[in-house]
Structures are given as C-alpha cells and as structure tokens.
Amino acid sequence: MNDAERVMIIPCSGIGKAYGSVGREAMYKVLEEMRPNETQTVCLSLLTLGDEQAQARVRNARVITVDGCPFKCAQVNVEHAGGANAPVFRVFDIYRAHKELKVRSVSELGENGERMAELLADEIAAKVDELRAMPRGALNASVVVNEIEECEDAPRGEEK
C-alpha cells in the first residue's frame, strides 16, 4: 500500500507530560501492532519546523491527530501544514471515561497508563478503519475532546 492510501497518525510530542506519553504509546500500538499496513506517521517536529516534504505528506494523507492537552500541538501543526478535517483525539477523554486509570508518571506509565493507551489505540484503530472505508474527500471532522492540564515545554507551530 502506498503512503497516500495509509492513514497518518500524528501524536503531539508531549515530552514531560503523562498524557502526551499515553498518546504516543497509543499511536505506536496502532502503527506497529494493530494496523501496520494501513497507517503511517510523520515526526511532529518536522511539521513544526516547516519541512516541505513532511507538510506535503500531511496534505496528501488522511490524518488523525492525538493531543495531550488543550494546546493541541498536533492538530495545530497539521492544520498549519494544510491538512484539513483531521479527526482529533484528546487523551484526557480516555481519562474522563476511566477515572480509575490514574497515570503514575511520565517516565513510567505503569499499568494504568498502558491500559489508557490500549483504550485510546482501540478508538484510533476504529477511526482508521472508518476513514479507509470512506471515499477520499468525504471526511467530516470528528472531535473527541476535552480540557486538561498544559505542557509549556512542547514545540508549537505558528498559528495561521
């Protein structure tokens, strides 16, 4: 399958943030274990830096973003690159639905963080299947959303 047919999953970089780490873990689960032949990713830092090749890949793909907080760095950078209507996942929604899953720390997500990543990965994989079943250009933005803590250190793209 060529790149244009694969759904692109872009998590925020969220370094230093537990929810950012959960989002990246969920992305790897989908990319490497659940839908390895149907998905791809691109480094968010390349988008932040304005790398033309990375931006072109985003424009040509169906994209899902995964963000760890309301700064929504993945979503902002995808939109800045010209990617449109990307379905958005916010890690906090998983926590809101499963408050028993408190993540221990960034460096060690622990059982709860792993479980949260699994739940999120299931939702992302279902969205991958949904996008692949749709004709190109028929995408409606679908926002899975909410408010959470902020991460001040993460890279951010310029707002349009």
Residues of this chain that bind ligand SF4 (CB under 6 A): 12-14, 17, 20, 67-69, 71-73, 150-151, 154
User: Whole-number minimum distance, CB 73 to ligand SF4, in Å?
Assistant: 3
Closer Cβ to ligand SF4, 58 or 151, answer by number: 151
User: Whole-number minimum distance, CB 150 to ligand SF4, in Å?
Assistant: 6
Name the maximum alpha-carbon separation found in the chain. Answer: 42
Closer Cβ to ligand SF4, 7 or 22, answer by number: 22
Closer Cβ to ligand SF4, 14 or 113, answer by number: 14
Instruction: Please list, residue by residue across 40-54, b when 16 or more beta carbons sit within 10 angstroms of its beta carbon and e when fewer do.
Output: bbbebebbbeeeeeb
Closer Cβ to ligand SF4, 86 or 151, answer by number: 151
**What Å distances lie between residue 85 and 34, 62, 107, 111, CA to CA?**
23, 9, 32, 33
Closer Cβ to ligand SF4, 132 or 155, answer by number: 155
